[in-house]
Structure 1
């Protein structure tokens, strides 16, 4: 699909906040939606000090804060430093490209494989390559553990587990080769590098894989083991934990206190919810 661009993407981050009516809006990327409760608490403290006092969630399972001080397209340095001290901004150079979505229950219950290590390795490879720091902020990786909850979500590059050892790559709107899960992160990083070489330069450069004039790899048929589209994870008790809808006004310290009882880590879901893992849950 040919798309004519006349500007670079403006997806917000801490180093590139969005100037909203109530101040600067900042998005913080989470790998697979996972966030330590201690870091979320620190982020709320920063939001109370500099913003509207709440943390908001996105449909890509990331976090946002808003109402922050800044000007000329930049956050005030004190606010930026405070965000870094939460541990949720591990890199300034690659913050915009850490867009890795994962089946929220992966490793907790169900699915064909635990893809959390694949997600972490992909994040490591993205941040280790200076060139990959120039990926568009809207470029999205989606990893489905074989249950079908995010396998059919639009993405640029992705993976669907076919069994405990093998997955099939997603390349834009099509399908790629089958690969061992241990090699999947490296293959996805290589494809992201190929996208950068093919996208062009300047304001007219492509933002997404499906905008390229030529495919990154030869399109293949979907493997018969690709799961059908699953319904969104319902709210309430689910295998592996409890899925809670986030308040429309955002998460404040009282909400975190109610979510964090008995859990050191929470999982933000693509359905604007929070999955609270059950103690002892495993794949």
Structure 2
């Protein structure tokens, strides 16, 4: 039987923030049980082959020889020494990965990884993401944003629109009957309404919406880091943003019932989370691979970089599914290169048991974790399941991601519907979490205690 459905929890009051967030960055290192951690923001997941090489060098010279991918398409280095901060910053700065040191933690921009690469994609919305990043880095007011504030730019397939953005942009197809060509729907937080923005104004509208959030957060006195944290009476709606856009000279049409997050505006699109070969519109191919539990060795990373430089477009795209997309390969080269990546231990088959399976850092990297969840998840895969073998809930529903967490913080867990495998003092608890439920109140089923 499938995991037991969660029950709907009572709405929790937004937290009162009396300090800035402690999110790590490239300059603000986080102390972990396995050394210091640096999180490098990679807006839209875009890396040049040269930048990817610099990250590999940093992981090899300064870290533990691995790179981790996050649920926001960013990269992390672990095992860093206390005194490596200046050297790391210099490497990143020289590679163009620190265009503004004052803004480096707020450059949280997700974009559809396959935009512009598959046969049915609309115009490449990743250009909007790049323009938004430039506007952020030039904005004095934007420095007040939290390191957790998230911009989302979806190409219309609905792949990243459901990932919990504070400001979300959903591209509408060119020539769409309900809007002008090249337009986008702008949403703030969970407001079901949206604003239709003309293509040329989209990046500036997104920044203006973020500035409207800062105004609302300041007026509330709550210190809110994200739109969903604004207290009642001080929330931010599409109508509020429309007023801010009007003041900035940006036109916006109010759409009272916008498509729900995750809705495709026009089929068919490829599944952005599935590994394999992606057929492009001009005969080119893209390779999409996943890193087991989001962790790559330097050798695996260098192989990806070499393929991108030698056969691809000289670029890599990091995905929020802890994967990498290599665009621009000739059709003849793609199958052989994919086989190389398979041999190197990367996930290249959508039928792999590692597809849609994730885990937090766990022990020994995190002192708060109750167990080595990665080892436990690996053992479960070896046993032919994605959940603890003894869990009475049975296999997870098909297509639903499974995430193993070493403590109740559940760092990096998926959005939407997912199977929560939580380590507790009594053992693993397994629950199906839906968008309208909170994992802490989910109905769970106990399994024997995790390995120490």
Same fold (TM over 0.5): yes
Match of 1:118 in 2: 128
CA distance in 2, matches of 1:79, 1:139: 24
Which structure has the bigger radius of gyration? Answer: 2
Which ranges in structure 2 are unaligned for 5 or more consecutive residues? 1-12, 175-181, 241-254, 281-285, 332-452
TM-score, with length taken from structure 1: 0.89
The verdict on how the C-alpha distance between 1:280 and 1:98 changes in structure 2, with shifts beyond 3 A counting, is farther
Q: Post-superposition shift, 1:235?
A: 1.2
The verdict on how the C-alpha distance between 1:103 and 1:10 changes in structure 2, with shifts beyond 3 A counting, is same
Match of 1:222 in 2: 257
CA distance in 1, matches of 2:260, 2:143: 34
How many residue pairs align between the two structures? 278
1:13-55 CA-partner distances (Å, limit 9, x unpaired): 0221111112211111112111111111111112211111222
Q: Which moved more, 1:76-85 or 1:99-108?
A: 76-85
1:234 aligned to which of 266, 274, 280: 274
CA distance in 2, matches of 1:116, 1:170: 18
Equivalent position SS for 2:295: coil
Match of 1:180 in 2: 198
Match of 1:136 in 2: 146
Q: Post-superposition shift, 1:238?
A: 2.5
User: Is the Cα contact below 8 Å between 1:7 and 1:204 reproduced in 2?
Assistant: no
Q: Do residues 277 (structure 1) and 327 (structure 2) align?
A: yes
CA distance in 2, matches of 1:216, 1:98: 23
CA distance in 1, matches of 2:302, 2:239: 49
User: Is the Cα contact below 8 Å between 1:162 and 1:226 reproduced in 2?
Assistant: no
Map 1:35-184 → 2, pairs under 5 A: 35-70=47-82, 76-109=85-118, 110-164=120-174, 165-174=182-191, 175-184=193-202
Equivalent position SS for 1:59: coil
Q: Post-superposition shift, 1:67?
A: 1.3
1:165-218 CA-partner distances (Å, limit 9, x unpaired): 111101111232101121011111111111112212899400111222222432
The verdict on how the C-alpha distance between 1:235 and 1:20 changes in structure 2, with shifts beyond 3 A counting, is same
CA distance in 2, matches of 1:233, 1:102: 13
CA distance in 2, matches of 1:80, 1:226: 36
Which ranges in structure 1 are unaligned for 5 or more consecutive residues? none
The verdict on how the C-alpha distance between 1:170 and 1:188 changes in structure 2, with shifts beyond 3 A counting, is same
1:150-169 CA-partner distances (Å, limit 9, x unpaired): 12221100100112311110
The verdict on how the C-alpha distance between 1:257 and 1:2 changes in structure 2, with shifts beyond 3 A counting, is closer
TM-score, with length taken from structure 2: 0.57
Equivalent position SS for 1:151: coil
The verdict on how the C-alpha distance between 1:238 and 1:222 changes in structure 2, with shifts beyond 3 A counting, is farther
The verdict on how the C-alpha distance between 1:182 and 1:78 changes in structure 2, with shifts beyond 3 A counting, is same
2:211 aligned to which of 181, 193, 198: 193
CA distance in 2, matches of 1:24, 1:51: 9
CA distance in 2, matches of 1:147, 1:268: 18
